Structure 1
Amino acid sequence: MAPEQGTGSRSGCGGKGRGRGKHLPGACWDTLWGDHSPPHFPSGQVVKLELLEQVQAQLRDVLDKAMEEAAQSYLQPHRKDPPTQHPSPPHSSGLLEVEHFRTFYHIFIAMLCVFILSTVAVDVINQGSLDLDFDLFIFAFGCLPTVLATWLVMFLYTLLVPYKALQLWAGSYHTVRFPRLFTAILLEALLACHAAVLGYYPIYTVIQHQLPAASRFIVILKQVSFLMKSHSFLLEAVPGIIHAKPPDGEMKLPALSTYLYFLFSPATDQLPSPRTPYVRWKYVAQNFAKFLGCLFYSYFILECLCIPVFTNMSKQPFSIKTLVLSIFNATLPGTFLLLLSFFAFLQCWLNAFAEMLRFADRTFYKDWWNSTSFATYYRTWNVVVHDWLCYYVYQDLFWLFRGRSRVAAMLSVFIMSAIVHEYVITLCFGFFYPVNCSPSLPSSEVSAGIQVCLYCQEWYAQIHCPLEQKTFWGLVTPRSWSCRS
C-alpha cells in the first residue's frame, strides 16, 4: 500500500477536522499548502497531530500484515485430513482446562483412593477376605430390561407422533375451511396421546414394576426430557407454518433426521448450534469412564459415610437433637454427592454425547460455585434447563401477561420448576418430602447436607415404620417425624 498516493493521501488529508500539522506525509502537505510555509499551531495541537499520525501508521501496518496473511492462507491448499490436535469447540464447558479446578479434581481422585483402600482394609480385617459384591449397585440399577423397554416406547412415540401430527397440521392448515377448529381438535388429540404415553405410561411402569431408585430416575428424567424436547420442537415449527402463504410461499418443515438429532443432542431448545469438524473418540471414552468413576465414588460415600450412620439414627424418635447431629454427619457426604452429580451429568455425560454428535455449543453450566444468591445459582447451575424455561415458559408467560408483570412470570417459572423437581424426587424415592423449595442457598454445603440428611432419614423411616393404613395425610407427612420403632 502507498499512503502518499491516490486514496491514501486523500484519506490522510480529508475529513471535517482541522489541518493535521507539519508531521503529515509529504503528498498531503503539498496538496494542502503548496510551496508556502505551514501555519503555526499550538504545542498541544502538535502533540495531538503526532499521536494521530502514529496511530494511522500502526493501523496501516496491521492492515498490511492482515492482507498478507489472508493472501497466504488463500493460496495454500486445503487439507483433507484433520489436524493432529482437535481445536477446542466454541463455548465449551472445559473445567479441566482451568488450573485451579484440576487441583480439586486430583484431590477428589486421591480421596476416592482413600475410600477404596479403607473399604478393602475393613473387609480384609473383619472378614479375612475382600468382599466387593456391590449390592447397592445391583439393587439401585435393577430391572434394566424394563427400563430400556420403557425408554424405547417413549422415544419412538416422541420421534414419530409429534412429527406426523405436525406434518398433518402443516398440510391442512391453509386448505381446511375452519383452520382454528382443526388446530384445536388436532392439539387436543396430541395432548391426549402425550398424557397417555409420556404421562401415565412411565408412572405406571415405575409403580407397577416397583423399580429401584436409580432405574426410576432414568425413566422419569427421560420422561421429562422428551416432554421438554417435543414441546420446543413443535413451538419452533408452528410460527413458520402459520405465516407461510402457499402456493406462492414454500412451507418447509424440519427434516425427520434433524428432529432425530435433536432428540439425542444435549440441548433442549431448537436454537442453531455450530458443529465440530470430527469426533474425538478418546475424549468420549474418557468422559464415560469418568461417569462410571463418579458412580463408584457415590457408592463408596453412601457405604462409608451415610448408611452406617442413618441406619441406626432412623430408628430413634425424631427430635431437634437427632436432626442437628444428622446435619453435621451429612454435610460432608452431601457436599460430595452434590459435586459428583454435577460433574457426572453436566460435565461427563453431556460432553460425551455432545462429542459423539459433534455438538459444539457446550455451555451446560456456568460458575455456579461463585453464586451468592439463589437467583444466580438458579441461572448458572444447569444452563440447559434454565434456557428452556427462559425461552419456552418465561417468555410465553410474559407475553400472556402482556408485558405487565415480570415478577409474576418469574414466580410462575420458579413454582413450575419446584413442582417438577418434587415430582421427580417423589416418584423416584417413593415418598413425599418437599425440601427442594426451601429458600436456603442450594449451592451451600449446609443446604446439601440438610437435604441428604432428611432424605436418608425418611428412606429408612419408610422401611422401619411402614404405614399400617394408607391415608392422604399419612402419605404426604414424612414418616421420620412420627417413627418410634
Structure 2
Amino acid sequence: MGKNVVCKCYKKVKQNGKTTHEEEKKEYDEFAIRESPLTTLYDSSLHIRAIYHIFVVILLLLMCDNVIFDLIENGKINMGLSVVAAGFGDIRRAFKLWVYEFFVAMSLYPLLIVYSWIGGISRKYPVLRPMAVRVGIAAFVALELAVAAVPVFDLCRKHLPVGSAAIVTVEMFRFMMKLVAIASACAPRCLNGTTPLPTFKQYIYFMFAPTFLYRDQYPRTKKIRWGVVTFHLLEVAGVIFYNCFLWERFIIPYWSDYGKDKTVEAGVVVRGMFTCVMPGIISWLCGFYCAMHAWLNACSEMLKFGDRLFYEDWWTTSRFSLYYRRWNRVVHSWLRDHIYLPLVPYVGRPLAIFTVFFVSSLTHEVIIALCIGFFYPVLLMEFGVLSVILVPLTETAGRRFPNAFNLLLWLCFFIGNGMLASLYSMEYFARLNCPPSENDSFFIPKSWTCPEVILKPNWTFQNPLRIF
C-alpha cells in the first residue's frame, strides 16, 4: 500500500462576536512514516541511552535481590516466575474469551455486506432510508453488546487472575473501539454506494493495526526487521518482570496484613502511601513504556505499519491538556473523532471535553474493576474529576511558567500513582483478610470499615517550632 497522509485542519471561526468550535485548531498529520519519540531519542542521545541503562541495572539488582535473598533464606532460587505465573493463571480460559471476542468482531464484515445490500434497496426506494438507518444502528449496538456481554458475565461469575483478566478486558474494549471506527467509516458507503467497501484483507489488517482510525490504506515500511521485533518483545517481558518485582518487594509486603487486625494507626497508613510513591511511579512509567512503546512498535514492525507516533513528548509539557493529547495519541485520536467532534456542535466545547474525560476514566475504571474483582473508583476520581479541574487551571499559567508547572505535573504523577497503588492494595487485602459480612458488595468499599483507622494512643498536637 502506498503512503497516505491525511491532514485535518481544525480552526475557530467567529460568528456574531462569539467563538464557535466547528473544528479543532490544531493540524494533525494522522498517518506518515515516522518513528516513536523514544526511538529517535535513544538513537540520537547518549543521555537518554544512559537513563535506559539505569532502568535495566535496577531490574538486574531487583533480580539479584530475589535470587540471593531466597537462596540464603529458603535454599532455593526465585526468579519471580511464580508471581508472573500467578498473574497470568488460567490463561486457557482467557484465550477462549479472546477467541470469542475476535470472532464476534469479525462478524461485522459480513454484516456490512448485508447492510450494503439493504442500502442498495433504500437508494431505489428512498422512503425506506430512515428504516435502513435504524436497522443498521440497532444491529451495530447489538454487536457491541455481544462483544462485551459474555466476557463481563464470565469474569463476574468466576474471577480470573489480574494479568489474564487484563488481556480479556483490554482486548474487549479494543475490539469495541475498532468496530466503532470501521462502522463510522463504512456505514455511509453502504447507504450511498459511491465508495466500495474495504476488502476482507483490509478489514482484518485494521483489526490488528496499532491504530483506532480506519483508513483503506496506511503508510507501510518495505520489510520486517525481525531483530527489532525480538528486541521489543524482550522489553515487554522485561517490564512484566520489572513490575512483578516492584509489587512483590515494595508494595504488597506493606499492605498484605491490612485487615488482619481490627484497628490500624493512621500513621501506618500515611507512611504506607508515601512508601508506595516511588515504586508506584516507576511501575506506571514502565507500564507506559511497555504498552505505548515496546508492544506497539513490535506490532507495527510485524505488520509493516509505518506510523510509529503513538505518543509525543508528554514528559516535557506544563499543561494537562497537552499531556492528555500527547501521552496516548492512539486513543486520543479515537476520542477526538468519535466523541469530541460529534458532540461539540450540539453541547459546546466544555461539555464535550468533560464527556471525553468521563468516558475515558470510566472505561479505565471498568477495566481495573474486572481485573481485580471489585469496583473502587479511585482512578475515576483522579482522572475524571481532579484532571478535569487541572486542565483549565494549567492552561494559561502553564504557558507563562512552564518550568514550575512541569514540576507540578510530575508532582501530581508521583502523588497520584502512590495513591492508586496504596488505595487499591488496601481495598484488595481488606477484602481478603477482613471477616465476611452481609454488607459485602462488589461496589461498596470494605477498607472504609475494616479495619478501623485510629490515631496513636495519647496523641496530641505539638508546636513544631518549639525546640525545648
> Residues 88-127 of structure 1: matches in 2 within 5 Å?
89-93=33-37, 94=39, 95-99=41-45, 100-127=47-74
The Cα shift of 1:91 comes to 4.2
The answer on whether the counterparts of 1:216 and 1:428 sit within 8 Å (CA) in structure 2 is: yes
Q: 1:319 to 1:98 in 2, by over 3 A?
A: farther
Distance 2:445 2:317 in 1: 31
Residue of structure 2 equivalent to 1:424 = 367
Residues 135-178 of structure 1, C-alpha deviations (whole Å, 9 max, x = no match)? 2222110111111111111111111x211221111122132431
Distance 2:247 2:141 in 1: 41
Residue of structure 1 equivalent to 2:447 = 480
Root-mean-square deviation (Å) = 2.1
Residue of structure 1 equivalent to 2:280 = 334
3-state SS of 1:254 partner: coil
> Residues 316-331 of structure 1: matches in 2 within 5 Å?
317=263, 320-331=266-277
Distance 1:184 1:213 in 2: 39
Does residue 1:214 correspond to 2:163, yes or no? Answer: yes
1:432 partner amino acid: F
1:217 partner amino acid: A
Greater CA deviation, 313-322 or 326-335? Answer: 313-322
Distance 2:429 2:293 in 1: 31
3-state SS of 1:173 partner: helix
Residues 285-337 of structure 1, C-alpha deviations (whole Å, 9 max, x = no match)? 01001100111111111121112211134545366423321121101110111
3-state SS of 1:426 partner: helix
Distance 1:221 1:228 in 2: 11
Distance 1:319 1:227 in 2: 45
The answer on whether the counterparts of 2:80 and 2:245 sit within 8 Å (CA) in structure 1 is: no
The answer on whether the counterparts of 2:224 and 2:304 sit within 8 Å (CA) in structure 1 is: yes
Residue of structure 1 equivalent to 2:222 = 277
TM-score by length of 2: 0.78
Distance 2:219 2:313 in 1: 23
The Cα shift of 1:260 comes to 0.2
**Which of 110, 120, 125 lines up with 1:174 in the alignment?**
120
1:129 partner amino acid: K
3-state SS of 1:312 partner: coil
Residue of structure 2 equivalent to 1:205 = 154
The answer on whether the counterparts of 2:258 and 2:433 sit within 8 Å (CA) in structure 1 is: no
**Which of 237, 240, 244 lines up with 2:186 in the alignment?**
237
> Residues 262-301 of structure 1: matches in 2 within 5 Å?
262-271=206-215, 272-301=217-246
The answer on whether the counterparts of 2:80 and 2:244 sit within 8 Å (CA) in structure 1 is: no
Does residue 1:451 correspond to 2:420, yes or no? Answer: yes
1:191 partner amino acid: V
Distance 1:319 1:97 in 2: 50
- Structure 1 segments of 4 or more deviating over 4 A? 440-443
Residue of structure 2 equivalent to 1:148 = 95
**Which of 458, 463, 473 lines up with 2:432 in the alignment?**
463
The answer on whether the counterparts of 2:259 and 2:434 sit within 8 Å (CA) in structure 1 is: no
The answer on whether the counterparts of 1:275 and 1:360 sit within 8 Å (CA) in structure 2 is: yes
The answer on whether the counterparts of 2:213 and 2:334 sit within 8 Å (CA) in structure 1 is: yes
Distance 1:232 1:133 in 2: 40
TM-score by length of 1: 0.75
Residue of structure 2 equivalent to 1:17 = none
Does residue 1:256 correspond to 2:205, yes or no? Answer: no
Number of equivalent positions: 386
**Which of 177, 181, 185 lines up with 2:135 in the alignment?**
185
The Cα shift of 1:278 comes to 0.6
The answer on whether the counterparts of 1:310 and 1:457 sit within 8 Å (CA) in structure 2 is: yes
Identity percentage over the alignment?
Answer: 30
1:422 partner amino acid: E
Greater CA deviation, 209-218 or 256-265? Answer: 209-218
Distance 1:319 1:480 in 2: 14
Residue of structure 2 equivalent to 1:223 = 172
The answer on whether the counterparts of 1:318 and 1:480 sit within 8 Å (CA) in structure 2 is: no
Q: 1:467 to 1:399 in 2, by over 3 A?
A: farther
Residues 424-454 of structure 1, C-alpha deviations (whole Å, 9 max, x = no match)? 1111111122122321658621211111111
Distance 1:259 1:375 in 2: 33
Residue of structure 2 equivalent to 1:369 = 315
Residues 100-158 of structure 1, C-alpha deviations (whole Å, 9 max, x = no match)? 32221100111111111122221122123323463222211011111111111111111
Distance 2:224 2:143 in 1: 37
The answer on whether the counterparts of 1:165 and 1:190 sit within 8 Å (CA) in structure 2 is: no
The Cα shift of 1:231 comes to 0.5
Q: 1:138 to 1:163 in 2, by over 3 A?
A: same
Greater CA deviation, 102-111 or 436-445? Answer: 436-445
Q: 1:377 to 1:179 in 2, by over 3 A?
A: same
